[in-house]
Amino acid sequence: MNRETNIQSIEERNVSYTARPTSDAPLKKRVLILPFIDEKVTRSQVVVQSAREAVIRALTQTQSFVIVRNSDLPQDPGKFLNENREYDLEKLAPIASSLGISAIIEGKILEVKAKRIGDQVGIFRQVNARVETKVRLRIMAARNGRIILEDVRSGNIESSTTRVAEYSFSDKYLEEDPKLVNMSIHKAFNGTVSNIVRAIDKISWQGLVALVSGERVFINAGRLSGIQVGDILKVTEDGEEIFDPDTGAFIGKAPGRMKGTVEVVSYFGKDGAICLVHSGSGFKENDQVELY
């Protein structure tokens, strides 16, 4: 079992039977956390993977999000990396939005610096070092393609590591020490978690109609997202995309026409809900739903 699958299954096990504690409690928003990027391409990928997993664990513990696996995307996220080793989030946004994802998160390690601040005498030396890491986090709202957070953070740690004497005097080797680098990077990214929560909290929750079969309407959010049996959901048509007439940049979607309401009666799949028509008509796939 890969690590992403394990994280997803942990979250599923922790979902309460009642989906959310009270009727006015917020629904969980779907978040896509892209594979983290390292400015230094020669550094081990274990470092960025570990940092990403630390952020996923921290966000999962807030119980405010559903973490979508990268493998659920129809295309490999790596195809959206540009020459600056950054993701083209604008191209990813409509794909993510079609999966009911509220926000896309990109993490990048910008710099790692290490400095020896003392060591012992001997063949195997306990070297004291200071490691400074600079990281950047970007979050894009998938629905309108806007950056809602760009946060640059530093993580500074002082710790010790054992090195063979011939390497113990070089700061270069300290910058490659997995223990020191991981500690510093984790500290830097952990400082972004509260800002992530606040930024995504400003996005209103929306789900999508996945299928309409007679009087039954299947939506792409269920108990994992906090949908309760008995909830009444408002259904609106997909709004028109609006672009800046001068630059051609995507601005967002205009609100769609309200079609009616549906009532949640059951669940299906990993995170889906079955609804019955409560009022209105003309529901179709990709219509948007929200709590009424």
Tokens of 186: 């984790």
Q: Quick one: 146 and 273 in the same domain? A: no
pLDDT of residue 265: 95
Mean pLDDT computed over 136-160: 88
Task: Classify residue 38: in a domain, yes or no.
Answer: yes
Q: How far apart are CA 197 and CA 34, in angstroms?
A: 17
Q: Is 247 helix (H, G, I), strand (E, B) or coil?
A: coil
Give the distance from CA 252 to its chain's centroid: 20
Q: Tokens 């790596």 correspond to what residue?
A: 78
Please identify, among 175, 201, 227, the residue that sits at the C-terminal boundary of a domain: 201
Tokens of 30: 């779907």
Task: Classify residue 94: in a domain, yes or no.
Answer: yes
Q: Quick one: 120 and 195 in the same domain? A: yes
Mean pLDDT computed over 207-215: 93
Task: Classify residue 15: in a domain, yes or no.
Answer: no
Q: How far apart are CA 154 and CA 225, in angstroms?
A: 33
Alpha carbon of 185 to those of 160, 172, 188, 202: distances in Å? Answer: 16, 17, 5, 27
Q: What is the CATH number of the domain that holds 244?
A: 2.40.10.410
Please identify, among 201, 232, 262, the residue that sits at the C-terminal boundary of a domain: 201
Domain that holds residue 132: 28-201
Mean pLDDT computed over 92-121: 84
Nearest to 134 by CA among 192, 199, 177, 57: 192
Task: Classify residue 229: in a domain, yes or no.
Answer: yes
Q: Tokens 């290490």 correspond to what residue?
A: 114
Task: Classify residue 111: in a domain, yes or no.
Answer: yes
Task: Classify residue 10: in a domain, yes or no.
Answer: no
Nearest to 214 by CA among 149, 155, 283, 263: 283
Task: Classify residue 13: in a domain, yes or no.
Answer: no
Q: Quick one: 76 and 182 in the same domain? A: yes
Q: Quick one: 166 and 219 in the same domain? A: no
Q: Quick one: 286 and 164 in the same domain? A: no
Q: Quick one: 156 and 254 in the same domain? A: no
From 11-15, 120-124, 225-229, the region with the lowest mean pLDDT: 11-15
Taking the model in full, what pTM does it have?
A: 0.79
State the Rg of the chain over Cα.
Answer: 23
Please return the burial class of 71, using the count of CB atoms within 10 Å of its CB with bins 0-12, 13-18 and 19+. exposed
- What amino acid occupies position 282? G
pLDDT of residue 13: 40
Q: Quick one: 161 and 215 in the same domain? A: no
Q: How many domains does the chain have?
A: 2
Alpha carbon of 193 to those of 138, 139, 158: distances in Å? Answer: 12, 12, 22
pLDDT of residue 18: 61
Q: What is the CATH number of the domain that holds 156?
A: 3.40.50.10610
Q: How far apart are CA 114 and CA 174, in angstroms?
A: 6
Please return the burial class of 36, using the count of CB atoms within 10 Å of its CB with bins 0-12, 13-18 and 19+. buried
Q: Quick one: 247 and 152 in the same domain? A: no
Higher pLDDT: 290 or 181? It is: 290
User: Is 109 within 8 Å of 40 (Cβ atoms)?
Assistant: yes
Q: Quick one: 133 and 216 in the same domain? A: no
Task: Classify residue 20: in a domain, yes or no.
Answer: no
* pLDDT tens by residue, 159-201: 666 554 444 445 455 555 667 777 888 888 888 889 999 999 9
Q: Quick one: 104 and 234 in the same domain? A: no
